[in-house]
């Protein structure tokens, strides 16, 4: 439905909010209400080229690239403060645009601010080395910025993932173009404004909402772009990697997942059974979602009962209400896809214990609400146990031994995240080493920490975000040898 009062929102190119070259705009909606939040300028190929050229000019001018570490850190810290000063506005914007509970958005905005602070603190100690070499002279390495970086972001954690990429990229002195998801560009555009207010020179951070197919491709293939960091689906990520290959661009990919949550019989079952947000957080639209719960058969029935009871108590509702635990899915189309997976699970013989239906009535009719689904008696070959559903659907699968649990956990094309629950420290160490994944946690369903590397193996991606090592992905090493002779 059109909303005449919704504001227009321009692209951010070269320090200014501008219309797209074609003048096209698209309505960006609140998925929980269907209301138009803003008419956002829709970039095309011409705008993609303008944004890269603005980034290229700012990089060549050098005021950011050559700024001292202390100067860059000061701007990043000011930006962190500005995010905190505007945190509630940003959290409401994010919840309205994504449909996620306000409590989750507040946490993500806070983490975004902390990321800028973290990398401001990292850069003074991130440098090269002197290297002993077997020739008369001195070996040195430098860490240098890469150049123009294109950062492509999905719709499920728009602000958080933008900050994960932008903060190390800027910390190293690069100039960047962010391509937010078409459905959720608003918080990234606001971040761009705050960055200018913090003192970032114009053109260093450009924000370009537009369709992934045309704009994403134009950005990825632009010859001036040196590094691409992509978060999104495995299918699109593979295409990005292929396109980047021609110019040998540096690529890091954070892709899909189908992570396992392994519960051994000796675990604290009350804690493990209550950790349902490792699947239902963000209404299951989470790459880290532990959507396969593997449970030792000895405690399988008890665990399923606990899980179902906790799911029954979930509060589904208005994302802006503090009490809400499950908001809206991103769109009716996405909800239909999730629902089709649930129907497939039933058809293949899994037992639907609770949920798995479109939430209807009253306010729910305006949004894309879905009742979280718990499936028991799932076998590993079923579609719901193999494919990334990206919605509030969990498959609980029994196992009989540690070896079988590891085999099941590794029986996926993905390898992003995961958890295991046990009181046996020896087993915990064996299993964390054996599971093919980039990230895993013990006795908690949470594993994203700003201070630690985050990313996947197998078809979940290449490269790591967060942690000190993210700076490596946004810098080049230069080796210098100075002869004594």
Which residues sit at the interface with ligand NAP, rule CB under 6 A?
Answer: 152-157, 179, 181-182, 211-213, 216-217, 220, 231-233, 236, 239-240, 254-257, 287, 388, 390, 416, 456, 460-461
Q: Which is nearer to ligand NAP, 146 or 466 (CB)?
A: 466
Active-site annotation holds for 254? yes
Q: Which is nearer to ligand NAP, 211 or 411 (CB)?
A: 211
CB of 240 to ligand NAP, least distance (A): 5
CB of 77 to ligand NAP, least distance (A): 26
**At 474, phi and psi to the nearest 5?**
-110, 25
Rounded Cα distance between 302 and 77, Å, is 49
Q: Which is nearer to ligand NAP, 145 or 259 (CB)?
A: 259
CB of 153 to ligand NAP, least distance (A): 6
Residue with tokens 């894309």: 368
Q: Which is nearer to ligand NAP, 118 or 157 (CB)?
A: 157
CB of 198 to ligand NAP, least distance (A): 24
- Contact call for residues 102 and 321 (beta carbons, < 8 A): yes
CB of 60 to ligand NAP, least distance (A): 25
Contacts of 297 (CB under 8 A, 6+ apart): 398, 399, 400
Can you list the positions of beta strands (E) in 202-356? 205-207, 225-231, 250-254, 260-263, 292-296, 351-354
Q: Which is nearer to ligand NAP, 291 or 422 (CB)?
A: 291
Which position among 53, 108, 115, 287 bears the catalytic label? Answer: 287
Q: Are strands 461-462 and 250-254 parallel, antiparallel or unpaired?
A: antiparallel
Q: Which of 312, 230, 303 is nearest to 264 (CA)?
A: 303
Question: For 346-378, b where at least 16 C-beta lie within 10 A, e where not — what string?
Answer: eeeebebbbbbebbeeeebeebbbbbbbbbbbb
Burial of 245 (0-12, 13-18, 19+ CB in 10 A): exposed
Active-site annotation holds for 347? no
Which position among 94, 254, 296, 465 bears the catalytic label? Answer: 254
Residue 205: CA count within 13 A, CB half-sphere: 28
Q: Which residues are catalytic?
A: 254, 287
């Amino acid at each position: 439905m059109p909303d005449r009062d919704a504001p227009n929102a321009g692209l951010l190119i070269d320090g200014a909010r501008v219309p797209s070259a074609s003048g096209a705009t698209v309505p960006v909606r609140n998925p929980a209400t269907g209301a138009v939040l803003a008419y956002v300028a829709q970039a095309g190929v011409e705008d993609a080229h303008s944004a890269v050229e603005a980034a290229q000019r700012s990089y060549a001018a050098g005021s950011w690239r050559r700024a001292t570490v202390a100067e860059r850190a000061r701007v990043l810290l000011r930006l962190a403060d500005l995010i905190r000063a505007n945190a509630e506005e940003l959290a409401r914007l994010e919840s309205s645009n994504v449909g996620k509970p306000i409590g989750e958005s507040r946490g993500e905005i806070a983490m975004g601010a902390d990321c800028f602070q973290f990398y401001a603190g990292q850069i003074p100690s991130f440098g090269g080395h002197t290297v002993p070499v077997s020739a008369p002279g001195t070996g040195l390495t430098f860490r240098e910025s890469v150049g123009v970086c294109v950062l492509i972001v999905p719709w499920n954690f728009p602000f958080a993932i933008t900050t994960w990429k932008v903060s190390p990229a800027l910390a190293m002195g690069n100039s960047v173009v962010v391509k937010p998801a078409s459905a959720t560009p608003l918080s990234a555009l606001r971040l761009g404004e705050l960055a200018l207010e913090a003192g970032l020179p114009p053109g260093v951070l450009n924000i370009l909402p537009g369709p992934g197919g045309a704009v994403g491709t134009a950005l990825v293939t632009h010859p001036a772009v040196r590094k691409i960091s992509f978060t999104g689906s495995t299918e699109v990520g593979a295409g990005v990697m292929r396109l980047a290959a021609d110019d040998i661009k540096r690529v890091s990919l954070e892709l899909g997942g189908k992570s396992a949550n392994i519960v051994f019989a000796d675990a604290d079952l009350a804690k493990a059974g209550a950790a349902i947000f490792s699947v239902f957080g963000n209404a299951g639209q989470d790459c880290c979602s532990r959507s396969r719960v593997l449970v030792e058969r000895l405690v399988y029935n008890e665990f399923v009962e606990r899980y179902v009871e906790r799911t029954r108590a979930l509060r589904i509702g208005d994302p802006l209400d503090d009490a809400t635990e499950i908001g809206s899915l991103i769109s009716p189309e996405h909800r239909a896809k999730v629902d089709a997976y649930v129907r497939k699970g039933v058809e293949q013989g899994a037992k639907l214990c609770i949920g798995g239906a479109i939430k209807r009535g009253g306010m729910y009719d305006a949004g894309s609400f879905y009742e979280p689904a718990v499936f028991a008696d799932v076998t590993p070959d079923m579609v719901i146990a193999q494919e990334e559903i990206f919605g509030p659907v969990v498959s609980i699968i029994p196992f009989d031994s540690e070896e079988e649990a590891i085999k099941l956990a590794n029986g996926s094309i993905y390898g992003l995240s995961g958890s295991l629950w046990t009181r046996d420290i020896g087993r915990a160490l064996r299993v964390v080493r054996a599971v093919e994944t980039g990230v895993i946690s013990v006795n908690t369903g949470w594993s994203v920490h700003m201070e630690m590397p985050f990313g996947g193996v197998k078809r979940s991606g290449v490269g790591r975000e967060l942690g000190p090592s993210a700076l490596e992905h946004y810098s080049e090493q230069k080796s210098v040898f100075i002869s004594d002779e």
